């Protein structure tokens, strides 16, 4: 089997799928050309992630990574959500095949993008260094996926 049981579980029974209407923060990363887009919606109450939903266009590991990432940040303070790493997502899924690791990177980026959106919308000051720009990932260089 290509994927661990954990990946298959989160892929076939994804947690937190859907949309939050009037979400406090929304983050979308990826590129349809490259075959994966992740969108994360956050409901924030007192700096805590009260609810989180996701939508993903992508392969099994992209869907599983989104599902796992939402589980890992639900109910957590924003400061903790921002420490979520792609490595932690991949480990929580009992590993991903090497050529699928970028799916966990997308999950980390989607969470960060959603938090950033919340900060921007509410005029909250933050350290820009914790939000790397898209180019640093290299996944979708010039949108050509090479």
Partner 1 sequence: MNIYADNAATTKMSKAAIEAMLPYFDQIYGNPSSLHSTGQYAAEALFMARKIIAEILGCDAREITFTSGGSEADNQAIVSAASIGAKKGKKHIISSAIEHHAVLHTLEKLKKQGFEITLLDAHENGIVRPEELAAAIRPDTALVTIMYANNEIGSIQPIAELGKICREKGVIFHTDAVQAVGHVKINVVEDNIDMLSLSAHKFHGPKGIGVLYAKKGIPLTNLIEGGAQERGKRAGTENLPAIMGMAAALKEAVSDIDENTAKLIPLRDRLIEGLLQIPHTVLNGDPKLRLPGNANVCFEGIEGESLLLLLDSKGICASSGSACTSDSLDPSHVLLAIGRPHEVAHGSLRLSLSEENTIEEIDYMIEAIKEVVAYLRNMSPVWRDLQEGKRSYVIQ
- CA gyration radius for the chain? 14
Note the Cα 92 to chain centre separation in Å: 14
Report the C-alpha gap between 2 and 8 in whole angstroms: 10
Q: Hey, which residues between 106 and 145 contact partner 1 (CB under 8 A)?
A: 139, 145
Active site residue 103: yes
Report how far Cα 39 is from the mean position of its chain's Cα atoms: 7
Instruction: Using the structure block, give the residue that is written with the tokens 């290299």.
Output: 138
CB of 51 to partner 1, least distance (A): 17
The H or E element that residue 40 is part of is strand 36-45
Q: What character string, x for contact with partner 1 (CB under 8 A) and - otherwise, covers 35-74?
A: xxxxx--------------xxxxxxxxxx-----------
Q: Which of 34, 59, 134, 137 is catalytic?
A: 34
Q: How far is the CB of 82 from partner 1 (least distance, A)?
A: 22
Q: Between vectors from CA 11 to CA 50 and to CA 75, what angle results, nearest 5°?
A: 15
Per CB under 8 A, the list member of 5, 13, 33, 87 interacting with partner 1 is 33
Catalytic residues: 34, 103
Binding positions for partner 1, rule: CB under 8 A: 8, 11-12, 14, 17-19, 28, 32-39, 54-63, 99-100, 139, 145-146
């Amino acid at each position: 089997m290509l994927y661990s049981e954990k990946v298959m579980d989160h892929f076939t029974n994804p947690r937190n799928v859907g949309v939050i209407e009037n979400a406090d923060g929304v983050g979308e990363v990826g590129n349809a050309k490259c075959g994966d887009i992740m969108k994360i919606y956050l409901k924030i109450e007192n700096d805590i992630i009260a609810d989180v939903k996701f939508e993903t266009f992508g392969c099994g590991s992209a869907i599983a990574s989104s599902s796992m990432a939402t589980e890992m940040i639900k109910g957590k303070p924003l400061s903790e959500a921002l420490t979520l790493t792609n490595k932690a997502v991949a480990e929580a899924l009992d590993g991903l095949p090497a050529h699928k690791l970028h799916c966990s990177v997308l999950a980390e980026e989607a969470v960060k993008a959603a938090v950033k959106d919340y900060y921007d919308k509410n005029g909250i000051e933050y350290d820009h260094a914790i939000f790397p720009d898209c180019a640093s990932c290299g996944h979708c260089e010039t949108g050509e996926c090479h």
